[in-house]
Amino acid sequence: MPGGPIGLNLCHNPLSIFQHAQFAFQARRFIFSDFGMKRLFVCALLLFAGADLFAQQNTPPLQRQDTPPVASQQNTPPLPPPEEGMPPIKPSATPPPVAPIVVAAPKQPNGKIQKSLVRITSTEVEPDYRAPWNTGAIGRGVGAGFVIEGPRIMTNAHVVSNTRYLTVERDGDPNKYPARVVFVAHDCDLALITVDSPEFFKNMVPLGFGGIPELESTVSAYGYPIGGERMSVTTGIVSRIDFQLYTHSSIDQHLAIQISAQINPGNSGGPVMQNGKVIGVAFQGYSGDVAQGVAYMIPTPVIRRFLTDIKDGHYDKYVDLGLTPGNLQNPAQRRYFGLPDDGRGVVVRTVIEAGPAGKVLKEGDVLLSIDDHAIASDGFVELEGERVEMPEVVERKFKGDKVKFEILRDKKPLTLTIELDTVWPYQMQAHHYDTRPRYVVYGGLIFQPLSLDLLDVYQISDPRVRHYFDYYILEQLYLQHPDIIVLTNILPDPTNTYLGPYRSSIVDEVNGKKIATLNDLAQAFAETPDRFVIKMIGQGPPLVLDRKEVESARERIRTRYNVIAEQNLEEQPVAAKATASSGTPHF
């Protein structure tokens, strides 16, 4: 997925890929059925001929009675001499019979998963950032899900993202049931959907959740990968338990479990099981060009947190402190901060002013403990008998919860409390789903706020734009520019000729007024001066538009380029959210 580790792919199966794979499979079957009889006859002849040749090559030659046998080339020990009065011992002419090997039929350690597993097909519409007033391209994808108590169906968020219509299929039923999204969490790639038909959940068996599996223990992954429409199961072992980037959002890191079971497109949202319990949800893996047999599942602590968060009917997202800690393992550095040689403490390197810690902590503070858990000098804490990274303590909390810190500030001990919340500046560097792109079109110029999705589409290489994106949080650029407004495209018209060099420029002011947000830009263009002088960040002459010329060309540009709406200032949810009925889903 764009923005994540190279080659790390979500396991959602785009239907176009699935159709190509299915066509190739059918073509091979067609070729086999057309020439099958001839090939079978030839293969049979070769088989019999090969067997006869094998028998001839492996049968020892007959020896005459008066010819002594040829000595063996192997170091076979000689037979013991016979006792007195006993006949000589002769070697056996035939080896003793070999007992047949009986292979036991494989068991189903997790029961009949078919009564819990579902196949999900999504018709989705991707946002069009080049022409943001348009609906976008339509696509289809296939994923998996499983029934849990409720009854509800759990799957990945990326299986149902940007969806307009969902259908669900179950084993042994030819019907496709319309479904709708109930809750979706893009920051941890989980979603719950449901089917309104009362017939669907009959005879379906909800699955229960287990704990975190042991390293090297065996697990089984279930889903509907490319190559068929029936359930597939793969097995593997637990290879690693660690914090990993969740590529669906490309900004969030949570606990994830690496497994060696093959997870391919179409496995997304399927359960990973052990001893009859769900221990994870399959969601991403590396492509074969990067690593072989490396796949990941979302573990049950993340799943349980999601289910707890939505109990009030709303998903509040993951909370964060909004700070960057640094290890304190160097002896000289520890003495500088007034720390004893006890292996405790990390230093606050950066604090995001827009985050929960912004008004409480300062750069240079030394964090000694969090909620009475001592913080080691490498940033780990002891939690439930395991050494985990400090953010794991915050991961288990919710919006409005508080966390207590024991710190050193200027070598003096303090105890502080922080109320947890989300950190909005992070969202600029994350992927967004189920929303319409924000933009303003004026005089054929398209202005849009900088985001990861925008960079992916336009592949902007301008160094200044890349700097504002990369250092948006580190240099706290969001304080002056909550929105980084970029001139992304130009709809050619006599009004905006020769303005091509201004593409990918960042708007600083309009007629002397600073532009901090997209709303500021829209309000500036709503005024009625003779001209608009648009100053960009950096050196160079300003961009100038004559207001009367722009107004005269307005309808011409809208008609020529089918601009349905000249602006969208809010990230509004899409109108239809994969509904099977007129019920309103929760976001």
Q: What are the distances in angstroms from CA 461 to CA 226, 235, 466, 501?
A: 36, 43, 7, 14
Rounded CA separation 196/583 (Å): 10
- The CATH architecture that domain 428-568 belongs to is Alpha-Beta Barrel (3.20)
Rounded CA separation 583/568 (Å): 26
- Range 106-116 average pLDDT: 77
Res. 131: pLDDT tops 50 = yes
| pLDDT tier, 265 (very low <50, low <70, confident <90, very high otherwise) | confident
| Tokens coding 386 | 């395991």
- Residue 470: enclosing H or E segment and its boundaries? helix 463-470
Res. 162: pLDDT tops 50 = yes
CATH number of 323-421: 2.30.42.10
| pLDDT tier, 328 (very low <50, low <70, confident <90, very high otherwise) | very high
Which residues on neighbouring strands pair with residue 298, listed in sequence order? 281
Residue 106 has a pLDDT of: 52
Q: Where are the beta strands (DSSP E) in 410-537?
A: 412-419, 439-442, 445-449, 485-490, 507-510, 513-514, 531-536
| pLDDT tier, 97 (very low <50, low <70, confident <90, very high otherwise) | low
Out of 158, 186, 254, 431, the active site residue is 158
Q: What are the distances in angstroms from CA 138 to CA 161, 181, 225, 545, 578?
A: 12, 18, 21, 36, 13
| pLDDT tier, 404 (very low <50, low <70, confident <90, very high otherwise) | very high
Q: What are the distances in angstroms from CA 216 to CA 59, 259, 456?
A: 47, 9, 38
- Range 8-30 average pLDDT: 41
% of residues, the chain, pLDDT over 70? 77
| pLDDT tier, 179 (very low <50, low <70, confident <90, very high otherwise) | very high
Residue 65 has a pLDDT of: 41
36 three-class SS: helix
Q: Which CATH number fits domain 218-311: 3.40.190.10, 3.30.1700.10, 1.10.260.40, 2.40.10.10?
A: 2.40.10.10
**Arithmetic mean of pLDDT over the chain:** 83
pLDDT tens digits, 53-95: 333 444 444 344 444 444 444 444 555 555 555 555 555 555 5
Residue 262 has a pLDDT of: 84
Out of 161, 249, 250, 268, the active site residue is 268
| pLDDT tier, 229 (very low <50, low <70, confident <90, very high otherwise) | confident
The residue among 109 and 259 whose pLDDT is bigger is 259
Residue 266 has a pLDDT of: 83
- Range 374-396 average pLDDT: 91
Residue 494 has a pLDDT of: 96
Residue 75 has a pLDDT of: 47
Residue 96 has a pLDDT of: 60
- Range 370-390 average pLDDT: 92
Active site residue 158: yes
| pLDDT tier, 285 (very low <50, low <70, confident <90, very high otherwise) | confident
Rounded CA separation 442/498 (Å): 16
Residue 572 has a pLDDT of: 62
% of residues, the chain, pLDDT over 90? 68
The residue among 460 and 43 whose pLDDT is bigger is 460
Q: Which residues, 6 or more positions from 524, have their beta carbon under 8 angstroms from its beta carbon?
A: 510, 511, 513, 515, 532
pLDDT tens digits, 240-256: 998 899 999 999 999 99
Is there a contact between 550 and 525 (Cβ–Cβ < 8 Å)? Answer: no
Radius of gyration of the chain (CA): 33
Domain with CATH 3.20.190.20 in the chain: 428-568
Rounded CA separation 423/352 (Å): 8
Residue 377 has a pLDDT of: 96
Residue 85 has a pLDDT of: 54
State pTM to two decimals: 0.77
Residue 463 has a pLDDT of: 95
In the block, residue with structure tokens 């207590």: 404
- Cα four-point dihedral sign 84, 87, 91, 97: negative
- Cα–Cα nearest to 183, from 99, 307, 54, 292: 307
Residue 264 has a pLDDT of: 82
| pLDDT tier, 46 (very low <50, low <70, confident <90, very high otherwise) | very low
Which residues on neighbouring strands pair with residue 314, listed in sequence order? none
Distance from chain centroid for Cα 325 = 25
Which of these ranges, 15-29, 176-190, 386-400, has the smallest mean pLDDT?
Answer: 15-29
Where is mean pLDDT largest: 24-28, 290-294, 410-414? 410-414
Domain with CATH 2.40.10.10 in the chain: 218-311
Active site residue 20: no
H helices of 6-106, in order, are: 15-58
| pLDDT tier, 18 (very low <50, low <70, confident <90, very high otherwise) | very low
Residue 269 has a pLDDT of: 94
Q: Is 573 left (phi over 0), alpha (psi -120 to 50) or beta?
A: beta
- Range 515-536 average pLDDT: 97
Residue 217 has a pLDDT of: 95
Residue 235 has a pLDDT of: 93
| pLDDT tier, 10 (very low <50, low <70, confident <90, very high otherwise) | low
Rounded CA separation 400/418 (Å): 9
Residue 576 has a pLDDT of: 38
The residue among 2 and 377 whose pLDDT is bigger is 377
The residue among 110 and 476 whose pLDDT is bigger is 476
Residue 225 has a pLDDT of: 86
Which of these ranges, 18-27, 371-380, 382-391, 547-556, has the smallest mean pLDDT?
Answer: 18-27
Verify cis geometry, omega within 30 degrees of 0, for the bond prior to 301.
Answer: no
